[in-house]
């Protein structure tokens, strides 16, 4: 779909007063950046401009106190589980603090959630009624699943690289199929 078509479909979905309101836009990083520029110039059905995206990675890092973060970083190689738990708790604090029931929250830069395998169902649970969430997802549809970070180098893997492109997928039932659009322009 074109960005303008996605924005119009999103506006129609946002006009529904209740229910689940978790949406997603898929595309390359470049296409997502172009989409954000068009989205920022568009208006919601209430006549308000769409908000600028909030960087989830930055929000998570800001939610972890510096001394705690330093200790986590020092011990992560030996014990990655405590770091993942802290990232999950920081994400929940960040998300709850930003959901105000006053419109739509646009989230970008979710890489840490995937890197630490954070459970994403919190997004689905909290994005309801007046708390609406739009995720900007660097990914693409591939048959019956959403492959995240598909732009990762498809050529020679970096020395010591443990992951290949396509290792990260969006949970199947996280976002309803008619609430998920892919930019193809």
Q: What is the pLDDT of residue 10?
A: 93
Please state which of the ranges 1-5, 64-68, 78-82, 123-127 shows the lowest mean pLDDT: 78-82
Buried b (16+ CB within 10 A) or exposed e, 128-157: eeebbbbbbbbbbbeeeebbbbbebeeeee
| Average pLDDT rounded to a whole number, residues 177-181 | 91
Q: What is the pLDDT of residue 78?
A: 78
Reported as a single tens digit per residue, the pLDDT across 19-49 is 788 999 999 999 999 999 999 999 888 888 8
Residue 153: pLDDT over 60: no
Cβ-contact 14, 21 below 8 angstroms: yes
pTM for the full predicted model: 0.86
β-bridge partners, 132: 104
Average pLDDT over the chain, rounded to an integer:
84
Reported as a single tens digit per residue, the pLDDT across 43-71 is 888 888 899 999 999 999 888 888 887 88
Residue 135: pLDDT over 90: yes
């Amino acid at each position: 779909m074109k960005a303008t078509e996605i924005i119009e479909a999103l506006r129609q979905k946002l006009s529904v007063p209740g229910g689940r309101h978790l949406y997603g836009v898929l595309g390359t990083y470049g296409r997502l950046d172009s989409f954000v520029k068009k989205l920022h110039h568009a208006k919601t059905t209430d006549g308000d401009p769409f908000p600028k995206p909030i960087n989830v990675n930055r929000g998570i890092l800001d939610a972890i106190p510096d001394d705690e973060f330093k200790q986590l970083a020092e011990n992560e190689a030996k014990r990655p589980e405590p770091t993942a738990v802290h990232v999950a708790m920081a994400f929940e604090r960040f998300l709850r603090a930003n959901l105000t029931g006053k419109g739509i929250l646009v989230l970008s830069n979710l890489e840490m959630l995937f890197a630490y395998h954070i459970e994403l169902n919190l997004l689905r649970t909290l994005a309801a009624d007046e708390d609406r969430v739009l995720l900007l997802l660097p990914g693409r549809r591939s048959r019956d699943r959403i492959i995240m970070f598909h732009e990762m180098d498809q050529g020679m893997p970096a020395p010591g690289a443990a992951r290949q492109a396509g290792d990260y997928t969006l949970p199947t039932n996280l976002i309803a199929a008619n609430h998920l659009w892919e930019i193809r322009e």
